[in-house]
């Protein structure tokens, strides 16, 4: 954001200083109380005046290139403004930080992720900002509207997955973005088409395929992968089961062998869900299905034991496949 202003020369020095302060305050109000020193100087404020405002505790220096027109704790949007202003003129909030700004819940970031074009001169690397150069930087990727410059959610989801610390975190970020309704699978997949080479390209494509198929949680993705790794047949996801007592949705069902698997998250242990879950389980079992339950905790600490039970149920129902792929 470039600022400039012409200060009338016929004003008294004190009036000119007051006017400059008001211009800075107006500019800062559009950026959550933060301006770059370059913006301040473009409004006619001198370095000496900046030092005086800081000394008088009306302003505070933030980082190397920014000042805040308040002296209190910075808000979350203000900290993101600092990140882009410190990183350079074409810096934008990107990756998981852009997802958080867009409303992603239950995920925290250690550093604010900022992207700049490949080859851009990075003036400063603050310890709490992670600056990434990317050859995919494009002004068309920016989210319109007020607030710190950030990329669109679908773009942010792809880059967050590419830059994640682990494959599991990459899958988690994609799943949470879709699950919380921030972006559709189709929108993320369209942005993923721009990625020609990356070690996680296949993983992200497979995750999007799984999400498009109706998988609604990271635990359910883990179940699908566990089945594939063990050479098990592919189950139906979110299968509809109609019984005399009602219509139910099952997390997974092997229809040919009438085996169902329900993945229990922490919410299934809550009192208001216990009775309903039990009635559904019993109704489906009475109608002829073998219904197995897999708590998320079990998926984390002893997955082999639970998958062995599924294999046993499938074999007893007539499946003749191998327990492990050859």
pLDDT of residue 127: 75
218-316 has which fold?
A: Endonuclease; Chain A (3.40.960)
- CA 92 to CA 238: how far, in whole Å? 38
User: How deeply is 320 buried, as exposed, middle or buried, from its count of CB atoms within 10 A (0-12, 13-18, 19+)?
Assistant: exposed
pLDDT less than 70: residues of the chain: 1-14, 123-124, 214-216, 239-248, 265-283, 285-286, 297, 322-326
User: How deeply is 322 buried, as exposed, middle or buried, from its count of CB atoms within 10 A (0-12, 13-18, 19+)?
Assistant: exposed
Per the CB < 8 A criterion, the answer to whether 51 and 31 are in contact is no
pLDDT of residue 272: 43
Residue with tokens 């603050």: 126
Question: Domain boundaries in the chain?
Answer: 13-68, 76-212, 218-316
Per the CB < 8 A criterion, the answer to whether 173 and 108 are in contact is no
pLDDT of residue 323: 46
pLDDT of residue 47: 92
The CB density around residue 216, as the number of other CB atoms within 10 Å, is 15
pTM for the full predicted model: 0.68
241 φ, ψ (degrees, to nearest 5): -125, 120
């Amino acid at each position: 954001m470039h600022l400039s202003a012409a200060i009338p020369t016929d004003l008294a020095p004190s009036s000119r200083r007051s006017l400059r302060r008001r211009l800075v305050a107006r500019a800062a109000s559009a950026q959550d109380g933060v301006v770059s020193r370059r913006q301040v100087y473009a409004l006619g404020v001198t370095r000496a005046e900046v030092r005086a405002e800081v000394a008088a505790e009306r302003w505070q220096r933030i980082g190397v290139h920014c000042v805040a027109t308040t002296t209190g704790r910075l808000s979350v949007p203000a900290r993101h403004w600092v990140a882009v202003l410190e990183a350079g003129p074409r810096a934008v909030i990107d990756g998981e930080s852009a997802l958080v700004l867009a409303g992603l819940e239950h995920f925290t970031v250690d550093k604010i992720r900022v992207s700049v074009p490949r080859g851009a001169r990075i003036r400063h690397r603050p310890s709490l900002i992670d600056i990434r150069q990317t050859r995919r930087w494009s002004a068309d990727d920016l989210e319109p509207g007020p607030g710190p410059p950030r990329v669109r959610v679908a773009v942010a989801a792809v880059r967050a997955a590419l830059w994640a610390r682990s494959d599991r975190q990459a899958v988690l970020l994609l799943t949470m973005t879709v699950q919380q309704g921030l972006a559709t699978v189709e929108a993320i997949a369209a942005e993923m088409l721009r990625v020609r080479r990356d070690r996680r390209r296949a993983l992200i494509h497979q995750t999007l395929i799984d999400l498009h198929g109706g998988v609604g949680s990271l635990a359910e993705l883990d179940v699908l992968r566990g089945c594939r790794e063990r050479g098990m047949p592919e189950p139906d996801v979110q299968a509809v089961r109609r019984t005399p007592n009602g219509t139910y949705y099952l997390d997974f069902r092997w229809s040919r062998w009438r085996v169902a698997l329900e993945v229990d998250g922490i919410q299934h242990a809550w009192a208001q869900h216990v009775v309903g879950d039990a009635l559904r389980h019993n109704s489906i079992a009475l109608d002829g299905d073998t219904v197995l339950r897999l708590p998320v905790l079990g998926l984390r600490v002893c997955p082999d034991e639970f998958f062995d039970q599924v294999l046993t149920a499938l074999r007893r129902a007539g499946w003749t496949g191998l327990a492990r792929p050859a």
